[in-house]
Amino acid sequence: MPIDEITQKVSERYAKAANTGEQMCCPTSYDMAQLKSFIPDEVLKISYGCGTPAGLKTVQAGETVLDIGSGGGIDCFEASRLVGPSGRVIGVDMTDTMLDIARENAAAVAANLGYPASNVDFRKGMADAMPVEDGTIDLIISNCVINLAPDKHKVFREMFRVAKPGGRFTISDIVSDQTVPQYLVHDTEKWGNCLSGALTLAQYIAGMADAGFLGIHLVKSSPWQVIDGIHFFSVTLTGYRLPSATSSLVRYATLRGPFNRVVDERGTTYQRGIPQPIGPDDAVLLSYPPLADHFVLTSHPVWLDQTDPRWTAVFPAQTPCTWRGHYALLAGPFVEAADDDHHVYRRGEPVEICSKTLDVLHTEGYAPHFVILNRAGAQVSGTAVTCAPDGGCC
């Protein structure tokens, strides 16, 4: 299907939904009771998305926030509340009907918030060619919109262009666990449903990394639909346009765990407990959340072992396990990671796991970094097995 046709069909679909009140089928978790206190119902009834990127404590007072695919303005208005009257919000959308509704309600939202004037500017534009100046945005948000863009890599490059050095994104979108086949890619209706345009999680994160973002990591995830064995699920991701490094006292990084080994986005490998020499740019990357929690950054080599309280590990139970159809997908901030039972996870690639490994990945140190899916089509009733001759797992 030609790109222009996809764009036109999607725009028409959302314009129709705005006029008819159709509920677009994406998973959302807005606190509607709180939003109703300052956002008019006309906006709330046409809010479509698969997450709440403006409501995850990612927005800070005084910032400039960009919402890609701002629709009726719900996320822009929530960001407006959070940045305060000294902040600024820009919403970009391609659909005139949506822009009209957002602009018509901007003054009412400002009045409800007690602002002297609206701090939200709604602009017509495409996600892959945004009418936004270079290097001006502190935080980019987007809610189930980039999925609809035919050329997502252009969108990711645009995001990097407009982000300030030190800026970041928090975006929610629908991705899949495997490549979407052509019969779905060319299904016009499923484009509007955030299905046909879905990238795999691996492709999505790789596209943002190719654009220049680093420290890309999972904030939250939730399942959505399974179609012909393809799992579609919502993810909210954050990443950074890192500032240039200045002189730093940090010269070494020691991996604390719980991973046994990790490879960062610059290609540097770290073994738990062993100090690794790093440069100023590496020190900047490792100082950002959530990477900072996994490392000890020092000016001199620091070795860690099991007697050091900073050293962490989670070992599987030494008991038989069961296979129940679970798969784990590493979602950053590392491109590769290994646990203490010989599993190697590559970012975005599904790895089949047994019940013992599932328990490990549900622990505090691992859980924030993984999406867990179950591909079994029915309840699994397999008997317990020993995965390896030594009683270890998988």
Tell me the C-alpha distance between 169 and 321, whole Å.
Answer: 39
Mean local confidence (pLDDT), 307-331: 95
Tell me the C-alpha distance between 165 and 268, whole Å.
Answer: 22
Sign, CA dihedral 169-172-177-181, equals: negative
Tell me the C-alpha distance between 212 and 159, whole Å.
Answer: 10
Q: Name, in order, each residue with C-beta under 8 angstroms of 186's C-beta and a sequence gap of 6 or more.
A: 1, 196
Longest alpha-carbon distance in the chain:
71
Q: Which pair of structure tokens corresponds to residue 333? A: 């901030």
> What residue spans of the chain are helical by DSSP H?
3-20, 32-35, 41-44, 74-83, 96-113, 152-162, 182-185, 188-192, 201-211, 280-286, 355-361
Mean local confidence (pLDDT), 277-295: 96
Query: Which region among 194-203, 222-231, 246-255, 375-384 has the lowest average model confidence (pLDDT)?
Result: 375-384
Q: Which pair of structure tokens corresponds to residue 68? A: 């890609």
If residue 170 lies in a helix (H) or strand (E), which one and from where to where? strand 163-176
Nearest C-alpha neighbor of 368 from the set 175, 238, 263? 238
> Full-prediction pTM beyond 0.75?
yes
Tens of pLDDT, residues 12-61: 554 444 444 545 545 556 778 889 999 999 998 887 677 778 776 789 99
Contact 329, 348 (CB under 8 A): yes
Share of the chain above pLDDT 90, in %: 73
Contact 121, 88 (CB under 8 A): yes
One-letter amino acid of 127: A
Sign, CA dihedral 353-356-357-359, equals: positive
Mean local confidence (pLDDT), 112-137: 97
Tens of pLDDT, residues 330-388: 998 999 999 999 999 999 999 999 999 999 999 999 999 999 999 997 777 667 776 65
Distances (CA, A) of 389 to 111, 150, 155, 342: 69, 49, 49, 14
Tell me the C-alpha distance between 239 and 242, whole Å.
Answer: 9
Tell me the C-alpha distance between 366 and 62, whole Å.
Answer: 34
